[in-house]
Structure 1
Amino acid sequence: MTAADEAWLRQRVIDAALDLAATGLSPQMSGNVSAREGARVFITPSGVAYPDLLPADIVEIALDGRVLSGRFPPSSEWQMHCAIYGARPEAGGIVHAHSDFATVLAVLKRDIPAFHYMVAVAGGKDIRCAPYATFGTAELAAHAVAALTDRRACLLAHHGQIAIGASVEDALHLAHEVETLSAQYCRALQLGQPELLPDAEMALNVEKFRRYGRKG
């Protein structure tokens, strides 16, 4: 990766973080964003307001968490990001958000079931909620990796949501979709218990999403 490519990747991480704040997907400095290039991870720093970020402020770490460059410490959730990248070689970007409706379901430890076909965009018949663990710990990282098995997004109990993608932009798009689905599910529950789509139908939808849109 050239210096120009690296600077552009750092800016893309910043742009995703700014989107989190601007859209309310993750208010203030909550949440975090990363992108991977080979064995290197570029992640938002801890405790720095997103509008103040410059490309040089994005922290470069190895997959084992060693800081390779950066004047700030990495996000407190670096272990979760690195563990997911270690388990999912196809992942090129991760977005973690404390979005309102996803967090509502997460504090209730509720999965998002097959109430809508778009749930399949996350890779399966449901979007799981990982068990609770203290933020910034290896235990939380392990819970997230397990909940993301065969999935591209999950909720984190009493915490929020996390989404992965082939790029940081893909992960951000999915995080928005998870929040939309969370809001729809919460509102449906106010009227009653929604009927769920059968497993066979969700499997069909998962396969259709694998082929959906432009590839490459």
Structure 2
Amino acid sequence: MLAPREQLIEAARAMAARGLSAGTSGNVSLRTEEGILITPSATPYEALTPEMIPLLKLDGSYEGRYRPSSEWRFHLDIYLARPEVGGVVHHHAPYTTALAMARREIPACHYMIARFGGAPLRCAAYALFGTAELSTNVLKALEGRTACLMENHGGIATGRDVNAALAAATELEVLAQQYTLSLAAGGPVLLSEAEIENAIRQFATAYRPNIAS
């Protein structure tokens, strides 16, 4: 099993390889007993080494030679507010970001939205990146959800660990793409609240660990 810093680097590189973030955009973090490991600011993912990954403390200070991502604040606040979260992925993937630029939430257009806790997937109100105001807006958009968009910015996905967060981030972009394409076809027929609730319950059965009893 990879050490936590190696897991983080692998996830960050996978995010870039999947086309979810270009250059040094986006950021990835994971929770440890010592604090939060997060990708450093302004550093290409392919150049990362374990020694370059800063450790973010719960008081906002950090250990390491490299500064944490400029978005460290909403990562930290998500972990403080959501003890079940072990990994966070923030990306600027094309379709997610296109919807964020249009300030559109994702409605109940497909049952897969149940994967994120229900509908809609909200779009957090705009605030300058790296600020406490943006962090507050993100936490509000994530209430009852495991992912959200951010106006004129991008998307955030969470998970029980960094690999689960990366999977969620990938599925968020797929859902954003499908919704965007459906708009060009005249707009989706939305599922009812009851249908989404049924899908949420079905997810609890269909996507539990695949181990025979």
Does the alignment reach a TM-score above 0.5?
Answer: yes
Structure 1 residue identity aligned to 2:134: L
1:22 equivalent to 2:17? Answer yes
Structure 2 residue identity aligned to 1:18: R
1:131 equivalent to 2:132? Answer no
**Match for residue 152 of structure 1?**
146
**Against the structure 1 CA distance between its residues 215 and 44, is the aligned structure 2 distance closer, same or farther, given a 3 Å change threshold?**
farther
**Match for residue 87 of structure 2?**
93
Correspondence for 2:53 among 43, 58, 69: 58
Distance in 1, Cα, partners of 2:5 & 2:185:
44
- Counterpart contact for 1:162–1:175, Cα < 8 Å: yes
1:117 equivalent to 2:111? Answer yes
- Counterpart contact for 2:87–2:158, Cα < 8 Å: yes
In the TM superposition, residue 148 of structure 1 has moved relative to its aligned partner by 0.4
Distance in 1, Cα, partners of 2:59 & 2:203:
32
- Counterpart contact for 1:20–1:27, Cα < 8 Å: no
In the TM superposition, residue 78 of structure 1 has moved relative to its aligned partner by 0.4
- Counterpart contact for 1:101–1:183, Cα < 8 Å: yes
Q: Which ranges in structure 1 are unaligned for 5 or more consecutive residues?
A: none
In the TM superposition, residue 204 of structure 1 has moved relative to its aligned partner by 1.4
- Counterpart contact for 2:157–2:165, Cα < 8 Å: yes
Which consecutive segments of 4 or more residues in structure 1 shift more than 3 A? none
- The count of corresponding residues between Structure 1 and Structure 2 is 210
**Match for residue 162 of structure 1?**
156
Distance in 2, Cα, partners of 1:210 & 1:131:
30
**Against the structure 1 CA distance between its residues 215 and 36, is the aligned structure 2 distance closer, same or farther, given a 3 Å change threshold?**
farther
Structure 2 residue identity aligned to 1:188: S
- Counterpart contact for 1:125–1:203, Cα < 8 Å: no
**Match for residue 184 of structure 2?**
190
- Counterpart contact for 1:57–1:72, Cα < 8 Å: yes
In the TM superposition, residue 126 of structure 1 has moved relative to its aligned partner by 1.9
Q: Give the percent of matched residue pairs that are identical in Structure 1 and Structure 2.
A: 47
Q: Which ranges in structure 2 are unaligned for 5 or more consecutive residues?
A: none
**Match for residue 140 of structure 1?**
134
Q: TM-score, normalised by structure 2?
A: 0.95
Distance in 2, Cα, partners of 1:210 & 1:103:
29
**Match for residue 38 of structure 2?**
43
Correspondence for 2:97 among 103, 121, 126: 103
Distance in 1, Cα, partners of 2:193 & 2:11:
33
- Counterpart contact for 1:59–1:74, Cα < 8 Å: yes
Q: What SS does the aligned partner of 2:30 have?
A: strand
What does residue range 205-216 of structure 1 map to in structure 2 within 5 Å? 205-211=199-205, 212-214=207-209
**Match for residue 5 of structure 2?**
10
Q: What SS does the aligned partner of 1:51 have?
A: helix
- Counterpart contact for 1:120–1:126, Cα < 8 Å: no
Distance in 2, Cα, partners of 1:215 & 1:38:
28
- Counterpart contact for 1:34–1:43, Cα < 8 Å: yes
